[in-house]
Amino acid sequence: MSKMRLKHITLITIFFLSLSANILVAQNDTNDSIRVLISKYGKCNSGIDGVVTLSLIMEKDSANMPIYHIGDSTVLFFSEIKVDAIKNISFLKGNTLPKKLRKSMPNGLVIANLKNGESYPECQALPYGENLFRTSFVTRMSFSDLRNENGELSKLAEKWVSSYGTDDEAFRQEYQINRRASQILAIDTLGNKMFVKSLKDFKPSVIADITAYEPDVALQMIGDKGFNGLLLVTIKSHLTLKEALLSTVEKVALQAAELTNINFTTLVRRVPIVLHE
């Protein structure tokens, strides 16, 4: 992310601390439409079973994208927001933007007001667990249709995803667990050992070596866990296991970034369908 982009986000955040977003909604330009991804999570013990979410983009080209202000946070992408948490969404560009932001925001600003004073982290749905799945579809909607004060958008989104949603292959490929994958055992120079679920659990540039063992050898080393083989991950000598592995907070941040990438890919690649009431 460029320093200029970060500067723009900082300026916008400061601006919103001094001016209520509800004032800006009255200036909303409803002539623009937006590409919308609506998803619903299945009964998968993910912590968000049955939750319907909304992700959206104005443009496929990242250079032409607006900034998104969701609840109390300014972000670069609108991803995985619970539909039930949304009050309304509006778009400001050009003369509809406050003068302070026009020069720094040539692509405009999308504002999502949330219900009940929810914060951005509270309204974002991040699944966890194993073998997760969801159904999704992409369409185009005008901002005048993205109003949910009385739950109208929630009801329609639930209806639409049941009618038009299909298996989200990009999501499933990322979150399905490969039961035939080798076990991963991490070890540091102090002799501390720990099984981890994924190589993604390690921080960047902390691995000194990875040794792969066939099932017959792995069974001798770790017992039944080695049925599909073993990856022995050795941590660099100046680090302990605790220092080499991502914290829970870091894992959540990484997961949010990965899910954003999945949603962006789906929004760009899927052909928007035409909704019928």
CB atoms within 10 A of CB 172: 14
State the total domains in the chain: 2
Is residue 46 within 8 A of residue 132, CB to CB? The reply is yes
Say yes or no: 25 and 110 in one domain: yes
User: What are the pLDDT digits (tens) for 144-202?
Assistant: 889 999 999 999 999 999 999 998 888 887 776 666 778 999 999 899 999 998 888 99
pLDDT of residue 45: 54
In a domain, 274, yes or no: no
What percentage of the chain carries pLDDT values higher than 90?
37
Give the range among 78-82, 101-105, 108-112, 225-229 with minimum mean pLDDT.
101-105
Say yes or no: 120 and 229 in one domain: no
Q: Which residue has the higher pLDDT, 208 or 124?
A: 208
- Angle among Cα 117, 122, 126 to the nearest 5 degrees reads 155
Say yes or no: 92 and 221 in one domain: no
Say yes or no: 15 and 131 in one domain: yes
In a domain, 271, yes or no: no
Give pairs for 215-221: CB < 8 Å, separation 24+: 218/182, 218/183
Say yes or no: 170 and 199 in one domain: no
Say yes or no: 218 and 119 in one domain: no
Rounded to whole angstroms, how far apart are CA atoms 128 and 46? 5
Give pairs for 177-181: CB < 8 Å, separation 24+: 177/130, 177/131, 179/228, 180/228, 181/228
Place of tokens 């900034």: 67
Rounded to whole angstroms, how far apart are CA atoms 129 and 107? 37
Rounded to whole angstroms, how far apart are CA atoms 41 and 150? 23
Range of the domain at 116: 3-175
In a domain, 166, yes or no: yes
Say yes or no: 135 and 213 in one domain: no
Place of tokens 């501390």: 192
Say yes or no: 169 and 205 in one domain: no
Closest CA to 268 of 77, 106, 68: 77
In a domain, 262, yes or no: no
Closest CA to 146 of 275, 251, 265: 275
Considering 175, 208, 230, which residue would you say is the last residue of a domain?
175
Average model confidence (pLDDT) across the chain: 82
Say yes or no: 125 and 220 in one domain: no
User: What are the pLDDT digits (tens) for 250-276?
Assistant: 887 888 888 888 888 888 888 899 886
In a domain, 273, yes or no: no
Alpha carbon separation from 84 to 104, 133, 180, 185, 272 (Å, rounded):
32, 20, 38, 41, 22
pTM score, whole prediction: 0.74
User: What are the pLDDT digits (tens) for 205-216?
Assistant: 999 999 999 999
Say yes or no: 149 and 23 in one domain: yes
Say yes or no: 219 and 116 in one domain: no
In a domain, 267, yes or no: no
Using the 8-state DSSP alphabet, how is residue 49 labeled?
Answer: T
Say yes or no: 114 and 191 in one domain: no
Residue 131 pLDDT > 70, yes or no?
Answer: no
Residue 27 pLDDT > 60, yes or no?
Answer: no
Q: What is the DSSP string of 189-220?
A: TT--EEEES-GGGBPTT-EEEEEEE-HHHHHH
